[in-house]
């Protein structure tokens, strides 16, 4: 659909802070000479501290132990290769970086908590879609937050795409219905729907989100339906709780991880993929409209755990 969905190359540089943490706390373990209980205990602690999460950490360690036994490995340095392979496998199995590349027309619902970066993510998606020759419509279905409609309209003007909006405090479902009608009338092939930020613990607002999702499903017609969850990469394990709650409510298709370039907590990518099978599809790599890229599992693993210490030092 869009060149954006095939564009890579920024994951490794955006993961540099997380990579620095891993190099200090995890990379050093593979320089040891004995594969003993202390090694496994410290690897477990380091992965949990790096926001990989307890469940995914234990799954990784169990697999590493089994493979080391089966393949007769006795050196800590050999565990570096195994861990790299298992991390990459889990990310690929979840479908990381594979968003929407084969979709002709799409209605994309953007969800997440306040402050995660939903509106700027919408602007970046719309900017790239328009640059690729797509006709894009935005829907201002965040009718709750003060200034949200005006903010999206400003972004729409900057990008050069139309925004379907009602009054503040209006029905988000009605806005969603209208944007799908407008998309067909104007021959648009990408609809991006903003929604009110809500805590995953706010059941009434999550119910409202389900209603909006239902309207998209009923009105989509030939449009493929996708739900993208925007998560602030600096939130660590709270991001995992958000992903679980939003996925249970509206069956998210993937994650856009923002602010990855400003945090050392990128291990959450592995937790989300490992525990929920939910792929990280895109990463926010900066502040400009062009700063959105497809998440690349290979680059991510290379940033966190290079093949050799020499590469890490380089």
pLDDT at 7 over 80: no
Q: What integer best gives the mean pLDDT of the chain?
A: 87
**Nearest-5° Cα angle at 238, 117 to 88:** 85
| pLDDT tens sequence across 34-43 | 999 999 999 9
Task: Yes or no: say if 154 and 208 are a contact pair by the CB < 8 Å rule.
Answer: no
How much of the chain, in percent, has pLDDT values that exceed 70? Answer: 87
**Thinking of the domain 1-307, which architecture would CATH place it in?**
3-Layer(aba) Sandwich (3.40)
pLDDT at 99 over 70: no
pLDDT band at residue 235 under the 50/70/90 scheme:
confident
Lowest model confidence (mean pLDDT) among 15-24, 232-241, 257-266, 274-283: 15-24
Query: What average pLDDT score do residues 43-57 get?
Result: 92
pTM of the model: 0.89
Q: In this predicted structure, what is the pLDDT of residue 13?
A: 59
Q: In this predicted structure, what is the pLDDT of residue 97?
A: 58
Q: In this predicted structure, what is the pLDDT of residue 306?
A: 85
DSSP letter string, the chain: --GGGG--S-HHHHTHHHHHHHHHHTGGGGG-S--SHHHHHHHHHHHHHTT--HHHHHHHHHHHHHHHHHTT---HHHHHHHHHHHHHHHHHHHTTT--STT-SSEEEEEE--TTS-HHHHHHHHHHHHHHTT--EEEEEE--SSTTHHHHHHHHHHHHT-EEE---TT--HHHHHHHHHHHHHHTT-SEEEEEE----TT-HHHHHHHHHHHHHHHHH-TTSEEEEEEEEEGGGTHHHHHHHHHHHHHH---EEEEESGGG-S-TTHHHHHHHHH-PPEEEEE-SSSTT-EEE--HHHHHHHHS-SSHHHHH-
pLDDT band at residue 309 under the 50/70/90 scheme:
low
What are the extents of the domains in the chain? 1-307
| Cα 164 to Cα 134: distance, rounded to the nearest angstrom | 17
pLDDT at 308 over 80: no
């Amino acid at each position: 659909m869009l060149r954006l969905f095939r564009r890579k190359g920024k994951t490794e540089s955006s993961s540099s802070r997380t990579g620095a943490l891993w190099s200090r706390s995890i990379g050093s373990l593979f320089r040891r000479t004995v594969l003993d209980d202390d090694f496994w205990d410290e690897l477990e602690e380091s992965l949990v501290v790096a926001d990989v999460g307890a469940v995914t950490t234990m799954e990784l360690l169990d697999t590493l132990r089994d493979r080391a036994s089966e393949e007769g490995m006795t050196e800590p340095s050999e565990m570096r290769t195994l861990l790299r392979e298992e991390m990459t496998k889990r990310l690929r199995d979840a479908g990381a970086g594979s968003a929407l590349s084969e979709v002709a027309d799409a209605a994309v619902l953007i969800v997440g908590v306040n402050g995660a970066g939903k509106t700027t993510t919408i602007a970046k998606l719309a900017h790239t879609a328009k640059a690729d020759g797509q006709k894009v419509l935005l829907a201002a279905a965040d009718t709750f937050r003060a200034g949200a409609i005006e903010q999206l309209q400003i972004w729409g003007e900057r990008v050069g795409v139309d925004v379907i909006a009602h009054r503040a405090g209006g029905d988000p479902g009605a806005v969603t219905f209208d944007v799908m009608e407008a998309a067909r009338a104007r021959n648009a092939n990408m609809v991006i729907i903003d929604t009110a930020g809500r805590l995953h613990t706010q059941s009434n607002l999550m119910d409202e989100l389900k209603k909006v999702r239902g309207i998209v499903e009923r009105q989509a017609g030939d449009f493929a339906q996708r739900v993208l969850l925007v998560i602030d990469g600096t939130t660590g394990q709270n991001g995992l709780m958000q992903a679980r709650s939003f996925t249970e409510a509206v069956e998210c298709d993937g994650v856009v991880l923002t602010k990855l370039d400003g945090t050392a907590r990128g291990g959450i990518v592995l937790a989300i993929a490992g525990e929920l099978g939910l792929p990280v599809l895109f990463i926010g790599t900066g502040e400009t409209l062009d700063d959105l890229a497809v998440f690349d599992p290979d680059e991510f693993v290379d940033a966190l755990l290079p093949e050799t210490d020499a590469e890490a030092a380089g």
